Amino acid sequence: MSSNTIVHRAVRPVVRAIAPSGVTPNQITTLRLATGIAAAVAFAGSGNWPAIGGAIFLLSFFLDRMDGDLARLTGQSSPGGHRYDLVSDCTSNIIAFIGLGLGAGGQPGLLGPALGVVAGLGIGALFAQLHILRIGNLRGYELAPGIVIDPDDLIALVPVLVWLGATAPMLVAAAVITPLAALWLGLTGARQAQAR
């Protein structure tokens, strides 16, 4: 994953402002995890709660980009901090989709919670393959000179789709795409390992 995407550059002024304060990258990661949990709980609610969850999730997304930037800027990068960041990110994204499924239970019928769990498990499988098993890697795509977007940045579309009332189709798509992507990555990774 790139550390110089559009999103990273957008949060960098905030990171520079808080760097002298003594706030640590792990504290930002903990706040990211807390906001990820809060977003999932809000997504599971009814009425305006999913829309509020979208705003909280977006904050959590930006915090995810800030912790690594803060670690690099202040020289506090560590293997333990990196692992904590990955666990926080994975947990936040998995439970967000479970929360979305619980909240959308009435929209796609009784399948909402099941779709949320399947999507969450697919996300967890992809994280494990990419970050634990190291099958493949994510790299940024340069859309134009200086404009880099990571595939991981697409998670920022979740709140937008919630606000547009497209939670049910998003859940269906995520429940199909993430497990298939994990299966594809596993199969291509196994083939690459055999070729070595």
Is 100 domain-assigned?
A: yes
Total structural domains within the chain: 1
Mean pLDDT of the chain: 89
Q: Is the pTM of this model over 0.85?
A: yes
Is 1 domain-assigned?
A: no
Is 190 domain-assigned?
A: yes
Is 105 domain-assigned?
A: yes
Q: Answer yes or no: is pLDDT of 143 > 80.
A: no
Is 82 domain-assigned?
A: yes
For a pLDDT cut of 70, what percent of the chain falls above it?
89
Q: Which domain, by its residues, includes 109? A: 6-195
Separation CA 134–CA 126 (nearest Å): 10
DSSP string, the chain: --SSSHHHHHHHHHHHHHGGGT--HHHHHHHHHHHHHHHHHHHTSSTTHHHHHHHHHHHHHHHHHHHHHHHHHHT---HHHHHHHHHHHHHHHHHHHHHHHHHTTTTTGGGHHHHHHHHHHHHHHHHIIIIIS--S----EEEETTEEE-GGGGGGHHHHHHHTT-HHHHHHHHHHHHHHHHHHHHHHHHHHHHH-
Q: Answer yes or no: is pLDDT of 106 > 70.
A: no
For a pLDDT cut of 90, what percent of the chain falls above it?
68
Looking up residue 184, the CATH number of its domain turns out to be 1.20.120.1760
Is 108 domain-assigned?
A: yes
Query: pLDDT at position 104, please?
Result: 86
Is 140 domain-assigned?
A: yes
Is 134 domain-assigned?
A: yes
